[in-house]
């Protein structure tokens, strides 16, 4: 029996028709699952979070090596199925809910083939959590945005926020045939290790907000994008904005040409000026 046979049996047994809208593409490559276990270097001391457990193919392998696996699954029918399948497994805890919304118990690693439908929010959510590292399979194009460097066509605010928040490595590419039903995209396995910021940005939320706003003008010169940001975010008059912007560096570069650290320098200066002058920020 292949994993695809197992999957088709389970889909029929539980009357489930995979819903792509919530990322229901199940892994049918046992070697891929094994390699994820190897990459994750899980030991019997680890408490693992799995995001989107599906029918639990990865959950089972994780439970063989981890202390505890906390499997989170949105679809109540799948939750019913894996509760039955893992009835006798003492170290698997199943939580029904939306990973982005539920309160998580304590854990130290994440290993998952999560739903691609929530990739951006999922990554931003992870950056707010405390853990050692995550091993995950994500959509290849999304990963390329996550790790993109300044100047490249994939470079965007997400790349900057990711580079500030974590060390991210691409481990291997995965063809779409490894999943059923096949997604319309290929995938990449990555590791995400949260890191202490490597440079000072003044205030993290200000930095994220500034970078997001500047990238809505990604091909404009920084000075113009900055004027827009300051006008949007503060009660400063237009003339004063011009004077203020002149004090900042990299003004003639295009937004997409700045490194995360250079955005950090801008954010640090701007935030300090705002604070010193008690300038009111709108949000
Ligand atoms: N990890 C499994 C399933 C991958 S498909 C495997 O490799 O086979 C992704 C799974 O995530 C689906 O079972 C889907 O129902 C679930 N899911 C979708 N959105 C979710 C969310 N917001 N929180 C938790 N699980 C979710």
Distance CA 170, CA 174 (A): 11
Give the CA count within 13 Å in the CB-facing half-sphere of 172.
10
CA 50 – ligand 1 centroid, Å: 9
- Ligand 1 pocket test: pick from 2, 49, 54 the residue with the most ligand atoms within 8 Å of its Cβ: 54
Regarding beta strands 92-96 and 68-73, do their DSSP bridges make them parallel or antiparallel, or are they unpaired? parallel
Q: Is 115 left (phi over 0), alpha (psi -120 to 50) or beta?
A: beta
Domain locations along the chain: 3-194, 204-276
Local mean pLDDT, 10-residue blocks, the chain (283 residues): 96 96 97 98 98 98 98 98 98 98 97 97 97 98 98 98 98 98 96 96 96 97 96 88 94 98 97 83 67
Cβ density class 114-132: b for 16+ within 10 Å, e for less: bbbbbbeebbeebeeeebe
Confirm whether 3-194 and 204-276 share one CATH topology.
no
**pTM exceeding 0.85:** yes
- Domain 3-194: top CATH class: alpha beta
CA 172 – ligand 1 centroid, Å: 21
Alpha carbon nearest to ligand 1 atom 20, residue:
74
Regarding beta strands 133-139 and 187-194, do their DSSP bridges make them parallel or antiparallel, or are they unpaired? antiparallel
**Taking the domain 204-276, which CATH number applies?**
1.10.8.100
Relative to the CA of 52, which ligand 1 atom is closest? 11
Relative to the CA of 25, which ligand 1 atom is closest? 5
């Amino acid at each position: 029996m292949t994993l695809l046979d197992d999957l088709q049996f389970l889909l029929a047994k539980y009357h489930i028709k995979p819903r792509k809208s919530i990322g229901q593409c199940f892994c049918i490559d046992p070697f891929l699952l094994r390699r994820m276990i190897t990459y994750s270097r899980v030991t019997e001391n680890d408490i693992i979070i799995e995001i989107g457990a599906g029918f639990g193919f990865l959950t089972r392998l994780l439970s063989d090596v981890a202390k505890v696996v906390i499997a989170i699954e949105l679809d109540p029918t799948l939750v019913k199925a894996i509760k039955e399948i893992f009835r006798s497994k003492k170290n698997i805890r199943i939580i029904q809910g939306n990973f982005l919304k539920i309160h998580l118990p304590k854990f130290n690693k994440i290993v998952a083939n999560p739903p691609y439908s929530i990739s951006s929010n999922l990554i931003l959510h992870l950056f707010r959590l405390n853990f050692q590292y995550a091993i995950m399979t994500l959509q290849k194009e999304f990963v390329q945005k996550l790790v993109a460097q300044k100047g490249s066509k994939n470079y965007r605010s997400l790349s900057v926020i990711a580079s500030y928040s974590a060390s991210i490595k691409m481990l291997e590419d995965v063809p779409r045939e490894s999943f059923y039903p096949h997604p319309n995209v290929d995938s990449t396995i990555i590791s995400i290790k949260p890191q202490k910021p490597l440079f000072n940005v003044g205030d993290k939320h200000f930095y994220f907000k500034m970078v997001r706003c500047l990238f809505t003008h990604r091909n404009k010169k920084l000075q113009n994008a900055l004027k827009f940001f300051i006008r949007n975010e503060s009660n400063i008059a237009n003339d004063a904005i011009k004077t203020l912007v002149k004090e900042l560096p990299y003004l003639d570069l295009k937004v997409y040409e700045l490194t995360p650290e250079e955005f950090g320098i801008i954010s640090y200066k701007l935030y300090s000026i705002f604070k010193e002058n008690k300038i009111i920020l709108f949000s």
